[in-house]
Structure 1
Amino acid sequence: MRKIILATVIVAMLLGGKKVFAQQEAMYTQYMFNTLSINPAYAGSRNVLSATTLIRSQWTGIEGAPKTTTFTIDAPMNRKKVGLGLQVFKDKIGIMSTTGLVATYAYRIRMDRASLSFGLQGGISQFRANYTNVQLEPYGPSNDVAFGNNANTNFYNVGAGAYYNSDKFYLGLSSPQLMQNVMPSYTGEQSKNNRQFSHIFLMGGYVLSLNDDFKLKPSFLVKAVKGAPLEGDINANLWIRNVFSVGAQYRTNADVSGMVEFQISPQIRVGYAYDHSLTDLQSYNSGSHEIMLRFELGLDRNRVISPRYF
């Protein structure tokens, strides 16, 4: 019963308050494998055809907790001066779900040992909220008009970013959603109290070679959005012989996480992350789980690629 009550409270907060609704972007612990969805300038930066799937189940044990899936694919074009990418995603929490498609373009300035990219993206997403599915009374439907109609609407958005990277370092600044679309209310009308807010992401990382077998890869991600506190993810991964990686992460005022990665072959990498909540929700859930699968293929005559860290 406590779990049902908690889920109902969470959904009510998400549907009602402007400040709570501000944190809208899907959250990933393995954000370093989901960079294209954060920064459009990342497209083509790995110099190979790269496809990644991330599946996240958050707050396991809470009914209606967030579940997110994203698939991204990108590749360099025109002698690696241009990067093109595509993202498909679905984010679901309680009675609400968002499904979308995003196309990405990046122009890359090649340097001797690094590159600087500027990217743009445009996308469409479908937002649904099944208000009529909320059971407010234990023995039958409720006549509350706030839950009398479902919401179903499409949103269009654009984003921009800049990304600098070398073999050992990267730094990026981006805002994947610049348009502040107004969300529909329970009456099916638009309400200025509920809207999409622009998020700003600052990210960076570095690879420190300890010796031939061990490499340490620290990285960070800072997220800023109006109506929500500044949030930061800080993590470090230790790569062993470019085959196996183990790491840990801290998300400010939210979670601590453990991560493992396996480079199964030069083309295939898999990863898993587990989050333990540090908030009051830890009494109601058994953690969050995230699975990553990446496939890459060299574009030059089936060239086998070497391990890449960013």
Structure 2
Amino acid sequence: MRILTVMMRKIFKGLIVIVVLLLQFAELFAQQNALFSQYMFNTLAFNPAYAGSRNVAAATALYRNQWVGIDGAPQTGTFTMDAPFANERLGLGIQLMSDKIGITKTTGIVLSGAYRIPINEGSLSFGLQGSMNNYFAGFSNVNLDPSGPVPDMAFAADVNKTLYNFGSGAYYRNSRFYAGFSVQDFVRNRLNFNDINPGDITARQSAHAYLATGYVFPLGFDFDLKTSVLVKGVKGAPVQGDFNATLWIKQVLAIGAEYRTSADISAMMEIKVSPRVSLGYAFDKSITSLRTYNSGSHEFMLRYEFSFDRDRILSPRYF
């Protein structure tokens, strides 16, 4: 056990080095997908290999109201549910999501499946996901400058499309460590209708890459320090890293902080109302020039774990 723990710590340190190196290449990667501060409660949303990894059926709802005070700022809601099957060798998950930014709104469903391989005291899983989203952009509702061209063909019609995509990922975890890598949106779907003039600007979906890792350090006296890192990359925007540290008290109450590179600092907390019910909240404060125009971002989380065996005791799960 001690050898395994030492090995996990070395892997964790190695992944941190990789994270730091990736952040040096900020000019290579742009964010299209929804963003959450409490990503550790919403892993299924970006890595299908997570499905069923908690060994119980779990449902998680998250709502994020970003940049309060800015008209058209992102508002995102997501509901995920996953469970293990076939003696915990298979995991299946579903996600429902709604993401609204300005005149655009994306709603959809994502189905995920994972195959798990037991390794010592942990498991390694590989997952695939398929998604169907409705993308709407209300260009006709934009208030245009009356001195401009009439009509302006760029805003003459709304965009309303159904987009199909897929992703994949790998995920390893044991009781105190996890690491995962995933890629979403392999298909470069067109987001606009500019099919007539080949010279028009074409907006497309881009593949998003995610690297996530975390480790829980036991501090004794009913205290544990849970650390986690998420690195997100997409072509056209800077690589972004979320660094999180949370102090758990008696495995019931957690208080933590997060730093998102060149974006926000966050304060968060989680409380286990019961062995099956958890509540979470995060408040983000911008550290860019946007801080002048908004009063922060609010994020709420609710998780419920199902137990169909009344005699089974739900053991603490950090991830």
Q: TM-score, normalised by structure 2?
A: 0.87
Q: What residue ranges of structure 2 are gaps of 5+ in the alignment? A: 1-26
Q: CA deviation at 1:194?
A: 1.2
Q: CA deviation at 1:282?
A: 0.7
* RMSD value, Cα: 2.1
Q: Please, which of 186, 193, 202 is the counterpart of residue 202 of structure 2? A: 193
User: Separation in 2 of the partners of 1:219 and 1:163?
Assistant: 14
User: Separation in 2 of the partners of 1:49 and 1:142?
Assistant: 56
Q: CA deviation at 1:186?
A: 6.8
SS in 2 for 1:210: strand
1:154 alignment partner in structure 2: 162
User: Separation in 1 of the partners of 2:311 and 2:96?
Assistant: 26
Percent of residue pairs identical = 53
Q: Which moved more, 1:182-191 or 1:229-238?
A: 182-191
- For each residue in 1:49-70, what CA deviation from the matched residue of structure 2 results, as whole angstroms up to 9, or x when unmatched? 0000000000000011000000
User: Separation in 2 of the partners of 1:203 and 1:189?
Assistant: 41
SS in 2 for 1:55: strand
Confirm whether residue 205 of structure 1 aligns to residue 237 of structure 2.
no
User: 1:1-310 alignment to 2 at 5 Å?
Assistant: 22-137=30-145, 143-185=151-193, 193-301=202-310, 303-310=312-319
SS in 2 for 1:27: coil
Q: CA deviation at 1:189?
A: 8.6
Number of residues of Structure 1 aligned to a counterpart in Structure 2:
290
1:11 alignment partner in structure 2: none
Q: CA deviation at 1:183?
A: 1.3
Q: TM-score, normalised by structure 1?
A: 0.89
Q: What residue ranges of structure 1 are gaps of 5+ in the alignment? A: 1-18
Quick check: 2:60–2:79 contact (8 Å CA) kept in 1?
Answer: yes
Q: Which moved more, 1:67-76 or 1:205-214?
A: 205-214
User: Separation in 2 of the partners of 1:22 and 1:215?
Assistant: 35
SS in 1 for 2:274: coil
- For each residue in 1:251-286, what CA deviation from the matched residue of structure 2 results, as whole angstroms up to 9, or x when unmatched? 000000000100000000000000000111111000
- For each residue in 1:38-83, what CA deviation from the matched residue of structure 2 results, as whole angstroms up to 9, or x when unmatched? 1000000000000000000000000110000000000000000000
Q: CA deviation at 1:137?
A: 4.3
AA partner of residue 280 (structure 1): S
User: Separation in 2 of the partners of 1:187 and 1:164?
Assistant: 43
SS in 2 for 1:193: coil
Quick check: 2:194–2:201 contact (8 Å CA) kept in 1?
Answer: no
Change beyond 3 A, Cα 1:165–1:154: same
Following TM superposition, the consecutive aligned residue runs of length 4 or more in structure 1 with deviations greater than 6 angstroms are 186-192
SS in 1 for 2:45: helix
User: Separation in 2 of the partners of 1:199 and 1:62?
Assistant: 26
User: Separation in 2 of the partners of 1:302 and 1:192?
Assistant: 60
AA partner of residue 51 (structure 2): A
1:10 alignment partner in structure 2: none
AA partner of residue 56 (structure 1): R
User: Separation in 1 of the partners of 2:160 and 2:306?
Assistant: 39
Change beyond 3 A, Cα 1:142–1:294: farther
SS in 1 for 2:140: helix
SS in 2 for 1:64: coil
User: Separation in 1 of the partners of 2:196 and 2:107?
Assistant: 19
